[in-house]
Structure 1
Amino acid sequence: MEREKDKSLYREAGVDIDAGERAVELMKKHVASTLRPEVLGGLGGFSGLFALDLNRFYQPVLVSGTDGVGTKLKIAQMVGKHDRVGIDLVAMCVNDILVTGAEPLFYLDYLACGKVDPKQVEEIVNGVAAGCREAGCALIGGETAEMPDFYPVGEYDLAGFAVGAVNRDQIWDGQRISAGDLVIGLPSSGVHSNGFSLVRHILFKKCGFSASDQFPETGRTIGEELLTPTRIYVKTILSLRERLGYMVVKGAAHITGGGITENIPRTLPQGLGAVINCGEWPVPPVFPFLQQMGGITTEEMYRVFNMGIGFVLIVEESDAERVTGTLQEMGEKSYIIGKVIRGSGVSYL
């Protein structure tokens, strides 16, 4: 049989089934670390099984979100560090479904590569599992696709999706938002996972930096700075809802691709806009650095990047102090960054 393996035409064509099996064995412990009581079965089936707890979800609405990491993967491949982008992958999906007030329940990922490197795959899945643990959801399945001639050796792409649940009468749909409500921002950890085509163009093509060059503001390398994982807001926001009740928050927004400019309007009813006071929160040094190096207009910065605000809550003015105070008690920084007004879009002061 060993001689037959050595003659495998599939391996000659560039697909190594044995390497794929080794990768699965290496990732099993990471997947197991994310399991919840509702998960049925284990890794290796054709599908993942999850038994919804109908005692908690009496009017269950399933909420789903899908995303990838984008060209931030190029930085990970440049540096040779792959676990952090796994966290990014989970964050981009769970933060999106969190906007509705939903609790993420389970996650599935998809990894496509030119050649399976079991240790690299393990590192990626370790990051995905870390993101799932941080979000409180189970990693119940995934796929690793070895695609020679489609991806160069050493390169890969990641995608995934999350499924969550919320009771129908507790959905945050933004319909209760009205003029005069306040916008509360929670800080980002940096660039997160958006705008990396522009980041790479500025720093590596236009300015000629390398990932190993020092980022002047923090003492870390540029690669380390850029690979800071996207923040996962799930436990903070769900805990806030548990403490204050779901009615206190009228709407929420994940500040992702499109920045503050395009994401806040996604949660506002027709006829309403927002005014944002730019001096109300500290902007991480990576953003002025990018703006200076690239000669980017302030308008474009706010339309591409999160500018230091990763998640937004919209609340009644009379509730704002209670919300920010509760967040502070939980060890979470927050800032009142603006107000809802009659009109449309986002303007800045």
Structure 2
Amino acid sequence: MPQMTQEKIRQNGASSKRVTMAAVGRMAGVSQVTVSRALSDPSKVSPDALRRIREAIEVTGFVPNAIAGALASNKSRLVTALIPSITNIVYSSFVRSFSERIRNAGYQILLSETGFDPAEEETLIAAHLSRRPDAMLLTGIHHNAQARRLLLGANIPVVEVWDLTSSPIDLCVGFSHADAGRSVAEFARNKGYARAATVTAADERADRRRAAFATRFEALGGQPVARADIGGAARFGAGRSALGQLLEDHGFTRGVIFCSSDVLAHGVLVEAQVRGLDVPGEIAVIGFGDQEFASDVYPSLTTVRVDRDALGTRAADQLLARLDDSDNVEAVTDVGFEVQQRESG
């Protein structure tokens, strides 16, 4: 095909308006159907026609309409993901491994932040479904009724992560938050702590851990568990304030404090140091999440570790298997957890 000039592009109506598939076809001397076929399955187009179509695309800067392609092929090659917080390493770390595996399989990722508001999650689920994704990742297993109806009606693979249920929407990859709370209580009692308190952010999963911890701790002979609920997201400053509340309102000393995140636990550690309290002699501290800083703070933080990279990878593998119509798909995958003992407790 002769080299195309800007004049040729203008003659074909491709310089001042959005370039269409029909315009590419006219330049390449083929039909619009042939251009579409070249984009969806190049093996069905002759080498000479394919060369001319690719040259026309390069000259014009034509960008295929992904949504139109999805309508035609019933595949968008898009996987969407909804997480509570993009900046929280607990969530962003498993999304990183999830995204890497999904992209390597030839899909693109669309990511949104929901906060911890079910209504906001529902709105974003509807917005994501309007993009016709091939699959979706959600954080948690609790969604409002309309969100569940939207997801079931979409009839696409859905993986719920960071929690477990015996009745997922489709797939579930996570761990038991109640079991994690009970395991921390058993760890604390085995260490000889008779008193305990909890510092908990406004998160349904964190509250399940707190409740399971308190019930198990008391069942094992511990004293009634004091609590400080911060009423918002986990913040370093909220951890510091929570320790002050426990000391001043509950007279809490000589016990262990179980925090719903490592960020809150770090705040408790710093406030204890400011007040001249010995950790773990007077107050022991246990976090949750095993964030990267947990082993480097002083004293190093005892916490609950979840293999977030493995969680993201397993979630991706299960979705990809579902997309490939594989028979080897586990509806529920438990990645487990472990109490990581360090100096603070």
TM over 0.5: no
Give the structure, 1 or 2, with the largest relative contact order (CA under 8 Å, sep 6 or more): 1
* Bigger proportion of residues as strand: 1
> What is the TM-score when the length of structure 2 is the normalising length?
0.24
* Bigger proportion of residues as helix: 2
> What is the TM-score when the length of structure 1 is the normalising length?
0.24
